[in-house]
Amino acid sequence: MLIIKMNGVGKMKLQNKVAVVTGAASGMGKAIAELYAKEGAKVILADYNLEGAEEVAKEIAARGGTCKAVKADVSLLEDIESMIDTAINEYGTLDILVNNAGIMDGFEPVGEITDEKWDRIFDVNTKGVMRAMRKAINYWLENNKEGVVINTISTGGLNGGHAGVAYGASKHAVVGITKNTAFMYAEKGIRVNGIAPGAVETNIGASMTNISEFGMGRSSLTHKLSPRSGKPEEIAQVALFLASDEASFVNGTVVVVDGGWTSGF
């Protein structure tokens, strides 16, 4: 086994931990999965794009990490439950759940959004998060285990003008899920936090269809204020901190990682 960079306390930050990361085939999910594996975690790479997840798994394994790719459409209950069952069956437990998978709307304001688009956005961005958390938390409660949940939220979950109404509402809902769950289970040793990235170099734009010219025009007014795009690896460093024992007293909060973008409004 290849021993990878040790931290200052003489061991890797996630040594012997088991993590599930959704949306792990690319972007922030890929960066988080790679960093977790580097820091000693056994990682389930869950993604709708199984081929992409398997490529990431090969890269991690080549560097001495332990991981397994699984196909997971987070809008499907059976896929969510299967990915968590796989972690437990493959590696014996679950310690960390990172709900990172998400899709964008087409910047549609409320006057233009269809029921079908609204439901699709919420099935992936909100209901998928709730279902994965429910499955993980019930496992921890039933087995008297502590656990960590990290939800990728977006600055769009804290502000009104970063996307369309469906995306913004779906991410605002995840803020509520995060805070409520953190409070409810705080005495059980279960921590739940969120990360709100600003503009980050990912391929989430590939999920956008039928862009609203009006909505895009309004949202672009706020986007112009962003100082720069972030790297997925910069988000992964925050996800590592929140998953580690260094964040043992951090619970029920949303960490904004946007280079200062939203501090201006």
What amino acid positions are annotated as catalytic residues? 167
Find, among 240, 174, 178, 192, the residue nearest to 32 by Cα: 240
CB of 22 within 8 A of CB of 98? yes
Find, among 39, 47, 46, the residue nearest to 17 by Cα: 39
Quote the tokens at residue 41: 């975690």
Token match 């995306």: residue?
Answer: 167
Give the containing element (helix H, strand E) for 21.
Answer: strand 18-22
Q: What angle do CA 146, 239, 177 make, to 5 degrees?
A: 65
According to DSSP, residue 109 is labeled: -
Phi, psi of 134 (to 5 degrees): -60, -45
Give the containing element (helix H, strand E) for 31.
Answer: helix 27-38
Burial string for 132-161 (b: 16+ CB within 10 Å, else e) reads bbebbbebbeeeeeebbbbbbbbbbbbbee
